[in-house]
Each structure stands twice: as C-alpha cells, then as structure tokens.
Amino acid sequence: MTTAPQTNLRQAAERVLLGNWIGHSTVPSRSLYPHQWSWDSAFIAVGLRHLSPRRAQVELESLLGSQWADGRIPHISFSPAVARDAYFPGPDFWQASTTGGVETSGIIQPPVHALAAWLTHQADEAESVRRGFLPRIYPKLVAWHTYLRARRDLGGRGLVAIVHPWESGMDNSPAWDEALARVTPAPLDSFTRRDTDHASTTDRPTDLDYGRYVQLAATYRDHGYDDSRTPFEFALEDPAFNALLITSEHALADIAEALGLDPAHHLKAAEELTGALGALFRGGLFHARDLRGEGLVDAGTISGLIPLIVPELPQATELLATARGERFGLGRVHLVPSYDLTGPEFERKRYWRGPSWFNTAWLIHRGLVCRGEQEQADKLRADLLELAGSTDFAEYVDPYDGSPRGAQTFSWTAALALDLLSSN
C-alpha cells in the first residue's frame, strides 16, 4: 500500500529528474555538474525506468553515443550548450572527441552500465523489444568490457586498474592518498577550479590534491590516452570498480540470453574476475592494490564493501561482519560511511573521506538483498528514503547527523530513491 509520504517523495523525485533532463540525458546537478557523467547516467537510468522506460533507454543510448573507437566510455560527455569554461577540466583541457564530434574527457568511471541496461529492459520488455534496445546496445557494452579487460589489466593479475582517482567515482578517497603523494601537482596558477564556485571548500578536495588530479590527467592526455605507453604514476586495482564489472558481466549474460546468444563467455569472465578479486581481501575487507607501490593499501573504504553485490562471493560472511562492526556501523549510522569511522583520515563532511553517499548505499542495499539479509536491507532502504526526502535529494550526507552536504536536487539520489520506492 502506497502512503501519502511515499507519494509525495515519488513526485518530488520525479520533479528532480524532469528538472535535470536536457533533452537526451540528465545532468547530475544543474550547477556543480552541468554535463553528462558516465556512472551517474547508469544510476539515473535505474530510477528513470520507473518514470519512463523509454527515457531510461535514451539516457544510456546517449551515453553510449560518446563511446570511443577503442571501446572506452569516457567519464564526461560535454554538452555544447554549456559554456566551455563552466566546468574544469572542460573540453579544451581534455582535447578529446569521438569520430562523431562529441567532445569528451579521456578517463573512465565504474562499469555499472550493463546492469542499468538490463534493469531498464526489464522495466518494459515490450517497449525495449519494439525499439530494438538490447540488440543496439549489447555490442557497445561488450566493447566496453573488452576494453577494460584487455587494456586495463595493468598488473597482469586479471583485475582492471584505474589510472586516476576520478575513475573510481570516489575521487577524494583516503585509499588514494599514498599513491597521490608521489605525484608532483600541476602549478596552482595553471588552472582555475570551478567546483568551489558551487560547494564549500571545506567539503571539496584540497588545492594540492586537485593539482595532482590535473597533472595525472594532463600526462594521460599528452600521451594520447594510450594505455600502453602512458607512464602512469597512479595505477590501482580498485575493489568496487572490479565488483561492478563482475555484476555487469552477469547482466551481459542475461542480455545475451535474452537475445538468443551464448552467455558462457560473460559468465566465465565474471568467474575469473571473482577469483582474482579475492587477492584484494585482507582483514575482513577488500582493499585497493597499488601497482606502483607496496601492495594493498591500508585505508578501509566503502569501495571494500561494494563486493557484497557479487554473486557467490566467498568472502561475503566476513564482509558483512565488517560492515556491521565499528568501522562502518551499518544500521547505527546514516547509510554507509565512505571511509572507516575509526580511521585516522576520517572527516565527516569532506568529499569521500567519511560522508555517506546514496549511490553506494543503494549498492550495499542490493548486496544485502542478494545475501538474503532482508531485515538489514529494509532498514537501510528506509534510511535512504527518509534522508532523500529530508535533504532535498542531497549529493551526500553526514553519517552521524544526516545533514545534507554537496549539491542538492542531485539526480542519482532522486533516481535511486525512486527505484527503492518502486521496489516495495
């Protein structure tokens, strides 16, 4: 039975998604993020499928229209309707575009796309079949996964590596601190930040770290975004990135079956990745592995809990215990903190260094349901929905008091709230 508060929340979430729609895609935030972001669009499509399955399909098709010839899906697709200097780094910095002339960034973000595509198809199978949605996007998603496994196994152990903190989607995580410390930052007078025009400097990455982000991106750009010849100073195997790739390989298997194709190679890829992922597990949590440093990083972050979404995960019981323990306080703090509550770098308000995010909470919720932990999942769902409504769909929240941080009317917050409302 739908209650009046649920109806009101649903309508509010729909208003956010409609308000951030720009005709072919949805911006994360009109102010802070005025273009199309890769993993944002995947999460947005998950919610849009309940509002308009066709619009969810268009969201993903639009993003895949920015795919490069090598298969990568860039993390930003720039809108020509937005001033070129409205966001930094913008198109003039990246100097990258598709053969069709779409200007993009040159780095990537976590591969949630096949999962989003499969859920979108399931929302209205008749409409999906009528539009030929799966036959058109399946080859593109296969090319995306092929790029990751063929070009980004930089450690030679079967796991995908990220080459920039932004590729993790968890930009300012303490997991990247040691690796970033090796990077000489770009001079502060060589660029102008735009993020602090719209958000508090106390919430955002420091100028020093931002200079390092810029330098890493510039080095990749200056080597033609060539993974084989770029001298990556930053290269890490991130557990969340690889867990999402595993989940999306399972989704590709489902898509292949729906198309009458053999899913075996997707299931084999998922199995191989799951086995390789185990090497990142230590002390009840998955940790990133620094390929230019000394193995597993010490920092315990939300990335290490995301593998809960992986089917048949051997480490699931220990991982659940860690989630519920003092380090992450699942069920005792709001959502799931982005960093170990007991860790030395914990900051309850600074971007990815402690605050709780709605997209990672949605993933943990999905993992709990997958593990049969329905009571815990229901509690997390209720917390997410309450906070989404009370914070006007904030980008993220303080894990202790639930106060809003970052942007508001944030698209993936609205989309994932709408998804959880619709799953009741």
Q: Any idea which residues carry the catalytic annotation? A: 171, 395
**Residue 165 and residue 188 in contact, taking contact as beta carbons nearer than 8 Å:** no
Pick from 356, 353, 332, 327: nearest CA to 342: 327
Kind plus residue range of the DSSP H or E element containing 139? helix 133-151
Neighbours of 184 (CB within 10 A): 9
Which alpha helices (DSSP H) does 278-410 contain, by range? 316-324, 358-370, 374-390
User: How far are the Cα atoms of 57, 98, 207, 256 from residue 133, in angstroms, in the given order?
Assistant: 7, 22, 43, 13
**Residue 177 and residue 299 in contact, taking contact as beta carbons nearer than 8 Å:** yes
**Residue 345 and residue 353 in contact, taking contact as beta carbons nearer than 8 Å:** yes
Read off the DSSP letter of residue 26. Answer: B
> Which residues sit opposite 290 in a β-bridge?
236, 295
Burial 241-278 (b: 16+ CB within 10 A, else e): bbbbbbbbbbbbbbbbebeeeebeebeebbeebbebbe
3-state class (DSSP) for residue 203: coil
From CA 347, how far away is CA 339, in angstroms rounded? Answer: 8
**Residue 285 and residue 240 in contact, taking contact as beta carbons nearer than 8 Å:** no
